[in-house]
Amino acid sequence: MAKLLHPKATAVWLVDNTTLSFRQIAEFTDMHELEIQGIADGDVAAGVRGFDPVANNQLTQEEIDVAEKNPGHRLRLKFNPAAHDEDKRRGPRYTPLSKRQDRPASILWLVKFHPELSDGQISKLVGTTKPTIQAIRERTHWNIANIQPIDPVALGLCKQSELDAAVQKAAAKRAAEGAVMTDDERRRLVSTEQSLDMPTEPKIPTAIEGLETFSLRDDDEDEEEDARKDFSNADSFFNLPGGSDDDEDEQP
Per domain, the residue ranges of the chain are 7-83, 90-198
pLDDT given for residue 176 in this prediction: 82
Chain centroid to CA 207 = 33
Identify the pLDDT of residue 82. Answer: 55
Low-confidence ranges of the chain (pLDDT < 50): 1, 206-209, 211-218, 244-252
Give the C-alpha separation, 143 to 120, whole Å: 22
Contacts of 33 (CB under 8 A, 6+ apart): 22, 23, 26
Q: What is the pLDDT of residue 211?
A: 45
pLDDT at 25: 92
pLDDT number for residue 101 = 86
pLDDT for res 185: 55
Position 213 scores a pLDDT of 46
Which three-class secondary structure string do you get for 17-30?
HCCCCHHHHHHHHC
Q: Under a CB-based contact definition with an 8 Å cutoff, are residues 113 and 146 in contact?
A: no
- pTM, whole model, 2 decimals? 0.41
For residue 248, what pLDDT is reported? Answer: 47
Contact 110, 157 (CB under 8 A): no
